Structure 1
Amino acid sequence: MGKWTRRAFIGAGVLTGGALVVGVAVRPGNPVDELKGTLAKGEGEELINSWVKIGTDNVVTAIVPHAEMGQGAHTALAQMLADELDADWDKVEIMEAPGIGKFVSADIGREFLAPTLEVPAILEPTVQGSFLKLAQAMNLQITGGSFSIRGTGQRGMRTAGAAAREMLMASAADEWDVPVSEIRTEKSMLIHDKSGKSEPYATFAAAAAEQSLPAKPKLKNPKDFKLMGKPIARKDIPPKVDGSAIFGVDADIPDMKYAAVKAAPVVGATADSIDAATARAMPGVLQILNMGDFVAVIADGYWQAQQALNSVQTKWSATEGDSLDQDAIFARYTAALDDAGTDGGDVETEEGDTGNAFASADIQLEAEYKAPFLAHATMEPMNCTAWLRDGKCDVWTGTQSPLGARSTIADTLGIDMENVTLHNAFLGGGFGRRSEEDAIVMAVRLTKAAGYPVKVIFSREEDTQQDFYRPSAMSRFKAGLDKDGKAVSWDNIHTHLFDPADAPTVPYYNIANHRIRKIDVPMHLRFGPWRSVDHSQQSYFIESFVDEMAHAANKDPYEYRRELLAGSPRHLAVLDGVAEMSDWGRELPEKHGRGIAFVPSFGTIVAEVAEIDMSGPKPRVTKVFCCADPGYAMNPDGFAAQMESSIIYGLTAALYGEISVKNGAVQQSNFHNYKMLRIDESPEIAVKIINGDAKRLGGAGEPGLPPLAPAVTNAVFAATGKRLRELPLAKHKFA
């Protein structure tokens, strides 16, 4: 990899078009002269590895290498950079970084692989450079896993802002001939109190560009934060309210045509033949294409294309999955679990002698749980606009993985990545769905076949039936309790484990003997990341079974968890926090219930209490209390909004969410049979934030979801005595 220097970590400060640009993690061999040519202002500006720019108007532009899909990452990341820079927030602008290799998510890789690694400043460039090269090799420029703030923000944005501030202070000290220690910064101004001198950052942009770059600039202590930790309004909200925000579906290219698509209803099938006679006679229809794995109609307008596609009769080839239905899929899981028996499967974690501890336990419990396939149901349907011309391809879309998408586009078309330009837009919901590239691949294949720009838009039916689903799963538990109800044995075997590895584990619970195993079972449906990934199933399984243990021990579920968390004060603070919020133990009306669940995930500790009303024709969740410790909430309003969002998303799934299969194909097609939570069904939600460790940040986008389902089903048990071991609630009948 060559020799790494101090300059390698922070990168290059250059003056171009009157703006100071500071990059992060620029590898040696990228000289400043090369960078200058790519940093011109105006449309198509390509900023290589620069995360902060200071213009002659003293406007600070934060270059954010993550997608904005409603989670507030753009604002929070810019907030972290601006605070370290002591920038005037009213004059901070945000720009999403382009999908190029210099903006890979090296800090996310480091947070994932070596979250606690600290090295001396002299070694920092080498270490960071290693993660940079790894991320580049993987085309890892991703928004997901609740990593943006705790990865890029904590290690990247703060570092870039602090570095720029030190460079500006050094420049002012040289010009004013004063010690740098006497200069302070405030709201994008450099100030020397003794002489009364003050100048805006822009005055010293050129001089700062010549400064040596600190390998490890000093970051602020939380007590000195001015923007971090404050409930600052998101900058993406006003344009979304006034309609000026641009989403992928808003792309409008000269001479663009529209495509409606229909993929094979059973994965792996191809279109043997099509009858498009009716469609060809319809107005506005330009082309009808059999692309093998999907059929497309291209027309002057989307509605024309979709109506024509609806009239196309397609004969699809037979597949091995044609005979599968929902019962057959779960029968596979059951058979695999049965075959694994007491010792089969892959051991994920084991401590103590689980078998003997269970056999000698005074109380023995066994239970089996099921969770269904789930779709993402983003409000903006999947879409992509592509234009291939002169060996180059431009793509307009909203993706969680712009660099990975560029690589896929290049491979699909057989061209170099340098000839692919991806214009990323706001995402109308992601939840993991927009890390997939099926719509993008369809669009680039169609523009190649058609010879003009094509916008692909999935119908809601196509969006529902061609998703990359949250996998269904089954889990079996055995637990042994002593005569006092204390847990002495925990044995769990479950189907599948995709991400993250810790989802089925319970290291925070004090159980001396425990073993967790998994088995892999083939699935014919496509699957992919879904908000909180495997925590969404595993936490429902785990926290429901812990509730069963509490009742078997004849103990209060909250108090029982307190015993399991003995010796973990930070965990106990969250559990106690939600109990206090919800006034746990307060008497509820008849046919009402209260349930609790506790799940640390994505670096954030969360406990939730749900209250449910079972007196009506269907269950109604009335209140949800959420206490969370993310280490430090960089934007408390934004963090609370993500907890609320996760709760609503999780409640939708718990009450209604189910993708079922018949004859190999997904049965659900739209919101009439894949229901969403309606506004009149939304519970009252209260969120409490505990800042437990500012040095170790947790995520926000996903950890609020895992406790929700078990809190609700535990509440159902409290109200009715009925234990729900399969989701959703809509599958069950209540007296």
Structure 2
Amino acid sequence: MKKWTRRAFIGAGVLAGGAVIFGIAIRPGNRASKVAGLVAKEGETMMTIWIKIAPDNTITAIIPHAEMGQGVHTALAMMLAEELEADWSTIRFEEAPAAKEYANYAVAKGFVAGNKDFPKFLDQTIEGVFLTAVKSMNFQITGGSASVRFTGQIAMRIAGAAAKSMLLEAAAAKWKVTVDELKASKSVITHESSGQKITYGALAPEAAKEKMPSHPKLKEAKDFTLIGTSKPRFDIPAKVTGEAKFAIDVNIPGMKYATVAASPVFGNRIKSVDTSTEGKEGVIKIVNLGNAVAVIAEGYWQAKMALNSLNITYESSENELISQEDILARYRAEMDQALEKGELEIHHQAGKVEPAFDQAGQIIEAEYQVPFLAHATMEPMNCTVWVKNGEAEIWCGSQNPLGFAAAVAEELQLDLEKVTVHNQLLGGGFGRRSETDVVLQATRIAKEVDFPVKLIWSREEDTQHDVYREAGISRMKAALDGSGNPIAYQNQFIFKHHPPEAADIPYEVGNQLIHFSSPKTFVPWGNWRSVDHSTHAFYSESFIDELAHTAQVDPLQYRKKLTASKPRFQKVLDTVYEKSGWNSPLPPNWGRGVAIHYSFGSLVAEVAEVEIKTNGEVKVHRVVCVADPGIAVNPDGFVAQMESGIIYGLAAAMTGEITIKNGAVVQSNFHDYRVTRMNEAPKIETHIINSGNPPGGAGEPSTPAIAPAVTNAIFAATGVRIRQLPISKTDLRVSVKQTT
């Protein structure tokens, strides 16, 4: 699932649901009866797979996404309740189980087709194709900022509207009136002319027998009463009181603890390990996993101390001869070779760049570089597994619980139904908890014993055996005409992962060539918050800033001029200009920088105010964020996500760097892989524009723009153009103006 494309996904769907090839529609209809045994308690009625209603009028939204601080359980419940015309005080939620019926077809459909409307006669067939495909792929992902914009729009709102329609039909049949005479509001249906009323809870058993409409009428934005309001998040109270349960909090009777040490060099395997400490000082068992050694003990610290004392030898490989300089040299050499041999793959091409460069009044070239980055989730990687009686139970924090269940089932050669996943709150995900490495490691350990085992990675293990955002290089080239306008734009970069549009630019340049190559690497790659957007925003927004300064045009106005035909961009830029006080004076050695980037359906502009101190230290004092997500479902939650993404991206921009020496990661903990501390965090001001476009994401779109906003601000303050991250690698002391 790391590199799936629209074509590949559609192909998988057609193959998995082969009936489509013969023209037979796959029409899923209302699958509520198929999941009742999974989620419904006694007396509860399943209206759709996403909604159950109790006799006391409590309505529960079944949410197919993990909660990792983004507020998804609350936002999706709001979208469902909005269309259901439910009383918010009666709304509850449950996270969907890791079961095939809850494979997330809405996210898959959204990524492939966006929010497109299909012809009504095909709609159910399309739904069926995607459902069949995601079932076959065990796809239950939380990621890609997709929960609100796809599951919310495609599943939750439609389910709410469909359930309301079924309730109205049942009430009409009960009272022998027409649906038009009825009103649904606050979880009650009223026949106003007769004064009759009935709660959803009382009507639900009969309503569930009604046919579920496939195209229920959705509300217009002007009629929203919940969407667009800041409702308190479901997960906050328990987090405040300490009652919230994360995977690391799980405690099963009889549980023991394990920790691991993998080979420091990527790809190397264990040659030998001394197991003589087994049975001593609380050590229960030592397990050779092939590429790592695990110690099972009565407690985590006993396991950790025993692991540290083990004599482990590793096999050798050519990887241990490779260091950071070698990797980057190889990348550059392969970039040169691919260019010379004409082997670059085309990402986007428009017009003809070479004639434009020949006619240019000025040509600007620059190379940008970003480092490997770890995820650094605050909750250490962990997983509890109990293998017993031909079954397995898993307690974890996962961004893809169904995928985890399938991986464990394959590892243990069990049927999927024999694996139960108890998904917990996630103490940070950022893409890391979509990977199965830890759960598979925990399973391989647990199958060696007859009791539950909680595997906890040390922070060092986590830092040195992550799956990393790729180190990247981008070679930019642009041609300007006599007025400073770009007439050609070229970008040669390495590593194209996803989303596919990440390297696109919004600027009106008639001649473009964006192409790439994929050098060989042995460093494991993984989805990192905003994925390719985090690199490409730095490349393109830094370079457009260079073009603006070369043209001697204000950088914000330069962006406005080059997006003149895009009203959404114009509005966001105008707002960030106003809210940041763009042209207001700043003290000496201060600067403002701007960046704008569209990702995951949301458009975000950020202005950073920075100070360069006399010792060269960079202090980011203020960030003004203007975001157009179409509509913010829960504005307070949306603001929190903008702040979160900015802080996460700021840490990467300022100090984030994973380096390789002799095939292994140098950094080991927060002392040498630093993140933004509370005293280093800037004041963040977020302004939301509800433009009426389809809902965009919130978890990732604020991350890409912060690095270029800060580096552009540094240039404004000092005249030093930072083209290599992290910023801490650049000595800015000589650029600081001495003041008296």
TM-score by length of 1: 0.94
Matched residue, 1:41: 41
8 A Cα contact 1:326 1:660, kept in partner: yes
| SS class of match (2:710) | helix
Q: Distance in 2 between matches of 1:629 and 1:37?
A: 41
Alpha-carbon shift at residue 693 of structure 1 (Å) = 2.4
8 A Cα contact 1:539 1:599, kept in partner: yes
Does residue 1:522 correspond to 2:541, yes or no? no
Matched residue, 1:26: none
Aligned to 1:539, which of 537, 540, 544? Answer: 537
Deviations 1:214-254 (A, max 9, x none): 12111111111111111111011101111111111112112
8 A Cα contact 1:9 1:124, kept in partner: no
Q: Distance in 2 between matches of 1:457 and 1:341?
A: 45
Q: Distance in 2 between matches of 1:521 and 1:40?
A: 51
Q: Distance in 2 between matches of 1:421 and 1:245?
A: 21
Code of the aligned partner of 1:691: N
Alpha carbons of structure 1 residues 244 and 510: separation in structure 2 relative to 1, 3 Å: same
Code of the aligned partner of 2:531: V
Q: Distance in 2 between matches of 1:730 and 1:37?
A: 55
Q: How does 1:8-23 map to 2 (within 5 A)?
A: 8-12=27-31, 23=32
Q: Distance in 1 between matches of 2:601 and 2:155?
A: 18
- RMSD between aligned residues: 1.9
**514-523 or 195-204, which moves further after superposition?**
195-204
Code of the aligned partner of 1:165: K
Q: Distance in 1 between matches of 2:613 and 2:238?
A: 43
Matched residue, 1:426: 425
Q: How does 1:593-608 map to 2 (within 5 A)?
A: 593-608=591-606
**487-496 or 163-172, which moves further after superposition?**
163-172
Q: Distance in 2 between matches of 1:378 and 1:49?
A: 35
Q: How does 1:307-326 map to 2 (within 5 A)?
A: 307-326=305-324
In the alignment, structure 1 segments of 5+ residues that lack a partner are 13-22, 24-31
| SS class of match (2:69) | coil
Alpha-carbon shift at residue 120 of structure 1 (Å) = 3.5
Matched residue, 1:493: 492
Code of the aligned partner of 2:724: E
Matched residue, 1:461: 460
| SS class of match (1:122) | helix
Matched residue, 1:17: none
8 A Cα contact 1:288 1:295, kept in partner: yes
Does residue 1:110 correspond to 2:109, yes or no? yes
Matched residue, 2:63: 64
8 A Cα contact 2:392 2:418, kept in partner: yes
Alpha-carbon shift at residue 575 of structure 1 (Å) = 1.3
Deviations 1:511-553 (A, max 9, x none): 0000001011111111100000011111101100111000111
Code of the aligned partner of 2:538: Y
Does residue 1:374 correspond to 2:373, yes or no? yes
Code of the aligned partner of 1:699: G
Alpha carbons of structure 1 residues 722 and 239: separation in structure 2 relative to 1, 3 Å: same
Percent identity for Structure 1 against Structure 2: 47
Alpha-carbon shift at residue 304 of structure 1 (Å) = 0.9
8 A Cα contact 1:60 1:93, kept in partner: yes
Alpha-carbon shift at residue 574 of structure 1 (Å) = 0.9
Alpha carbons of structure 1 residues 703 and 489: separation in structure 2 relative to 1, 3 Å: same
Matched residue, 1:166: 165
Q: How does 1:320-719 map to 2 (within 5 A)?
A: 320-341=318-339, 343-506=342-505, 508-617=506-615, 618-694=617-693, 696-719=694-717
Code of the aligned partner of 1:682: A
Q: Distance in 2 between matches of 1:420 and 1:440?
A: 12
Q: Distance in 2 between matches of 1:366 and 1:437?
A: 41
8 A Cα contact 2:47 2:204, kept in partner: no
**490-499 or 342-351, which moves further after superposition?**
342-351
Code of the aligned partner of 1:613: E
8 A Cα contact 2:45 2:208, kept in partner: no
Code of the aligned partner of 2:535: Q
**187-196 or 541-550, which moves further after superposition?**
187-196
**428-437 or 358-367, which moves further after superposition?**
358-367
Q: Distance in 1 between matches of 2:522 and 2:601?
A: 32
Code of the aligned partner of 1:640: V
Code of the aligned partner of 1:436: E
Matched residue, 1:81: 80
Does residue 1:295 correspond to 2:293, yes or no? yes
**169-178 or 667-676, which moves further after superposition?**
169-178
Matched residue, 2:137: 138
8 A Cα contact 2:50 2:159, kept in partner: yes
8 A Cα contact 2:590 2:717, kept in partner: yes
Alpha carbons of structure 1 residues 86 and 168: separation in structure 2 relative to 1, 3 Å: same
Code of the aligned partner of 2:566: S
**333-342 or 188-197, which moves further after superposition?**
333-342
8 A Cα contact 2:344 2:516, kept in partner: yes
Q: Distance in 1 between matches of 2:449 and 2:36?
A: 38
Deviations 1:191-231 (A, max 9, x none): 12211222211111121022121121111111111111111
| SS class of match (2:150) | helix
Alpha carbons of structure 1 residues 615 and 189: separation in structure 2 relative to 1, 3 Å: same
Code of the aligned partner of 2:331: Y
**211-220 or 475-484, which moves further after superposition?**
211-220
| SS class of match (2:120) | coil
Deviations 1:438-460 (A, max 9, x none): 11001111111123211100011
Alpha-carbon shift at residue 178 of structure 1 (Å) = 2.1
Matched residue, 1:176: 175
Alpha carbons of structure 1 residues 351 and 151: separation in structure 2 relative to 1, 3 Å: same
Q: Distance in 2 between matches of 1:391 and 1:51?
A: 31
8 A Cα contact 2:480 2:487, kept in partner: yes
Q: Distance in 2 between matches of 1:89 and 1:243?
A: 25
In the alignment, structure 2 segments of 5+ residues that lack a partner are 1-16, 734-740
| SS class of match (1:412) | helix
Alpha-carbon shift at residue 462 of structure 1 (Å) = 0.6
| SS class of match (1:570) | helix
Matched residue, 2:8: none
| SS class of match (2:668) | coil
Q: Distance in 1 between matches of 2:253 and 2:46?
A: 26
Q: Distance in 1 between matches of 2:159 and 2:459?
A: 42
Matched residue, 1:27: none
Alpha carbons of structure 1 residues 663 and 489: separation in structure 2 relative to 1, 3 Å: same
Q: Distance in 1 between matches of 2:311 and 2:659?
A: 24
Alpha-carbon shift at residue 259 of structure 1 (Å) = 0.2
Deviations 1:469-489 (A, max 9, x none): 111000001100001000001
**474-483 or 260-269, which moves further after superposition?**
260-269
Alpha-carbon shift at residue 673 of structure 1 (Å) = 0.4
Alpha carbons of structure 1 residues 386 and 217: separation in structure 2 relative to 1, 3 Å: same
Alpha carbons of structure 1 residues 352 and 39: separation in structure 2 relative to 1, 3 Å: closer
8 A Cα contact 1:577 1:627, kept in partner: yes
Alpha carbons of structure 1 residues 733 and 525: separation in structure 2 relative to 1, 3 Å: same
Alpha-carbon shift at residue 6 of structure 1 (Å) = 11
Alpha carbons of structure 1 residues 512 and 6: separation in structure 2 relative to 1, 3 Å: closer
| SS class of match (2:704) | coil
Q: Distance in 2 between matches of 1:35 and 1:410?
A: 21
Deviations 1:51-102 (A, max 9, x none): 0000011100000001001011110001100111111111111100001111
Alpha-carbon shift at residue 122 of structure 1 (Å) = 3.1
Tell me the matched-pair count: 712
TM-score by length of 2: 0.94
8 A Cα contact 1:620 1:681, kept in partner: yes
Q: Distance in 2 between matches of 1:72 and 1:78?
A: 10
Alpha-carbon shift at residue 359 of structure 1 (Å) = 2.2
Matched residue, 2:718: 720
Deviations 1:328-387 (A, max 9, x none): 111011111222336541111111110121122111100001000000000111111111
8 A Cα contact 2:105 2:131, kept in partner: yes
